[in-house]
Structure 1
């Protein structure tokens, strides 16, 4: 039994396992925000960038906004929240499913993907601090 599990584990690429874990954590976090948002929002977490420099990071307010969107309310704290919800719940799972089907997880580590993420994070940072 253990030998069979080890064979299965070695047959699945490390990147595939990582993205599968990420998707499972995404489902868990969504369930928590949907059914028990007070457990997450009651932690009193604060952004280090905002505390130290007075600037909001690209993700400031997204936890509250995601909880609000899951309960049918408009996001109020971060203007990028609806875009990020689309990326997190739409684009990322489709990209992982496509990579899984094609057995091509190497494109997640390509420089063009890293540059696109950097540009998106910069745009989110600017949008979050200018609005």
Structure 2
């Protein structure tokens, strides 16, 4: 993964939320709260357990999928919030997000998902 430069890191840090899920003890969302936040995202859905959000993309090729992975990794590292990244059948990307320490979903998960969506829009990925 490519290391973000100092400017990228500062920009990402300033965009990071200052809510309690990101600082100190994470607060797990109720299902109704998670559903409301999920409705604000494009293409994300709850997993079968309703403890994670997930989304899939089909990339043009393997190299595009790896580039996307690296850029998602940079965002995740800047937010200190790390999703599960899956690359399947050489160009199918699947991302799952949840807050491990909360045992479910927090506001930080939806913030990360929105940042990933911004990246995908910037890259022209739908």
When the two structures are superposed, what TM-score results if normalisation uses the length of structure 2?
0.28
> Which one has a larger percent strand, Structure 1 or Structure 2?
2
Larger of the two Rg values belongs to structure: 1
> Which one has a larger percent helix, Structure 1 or Structure 2?
1
Q: Which has the higher contact order (CA 8 A, sep 6+)?
A: 2
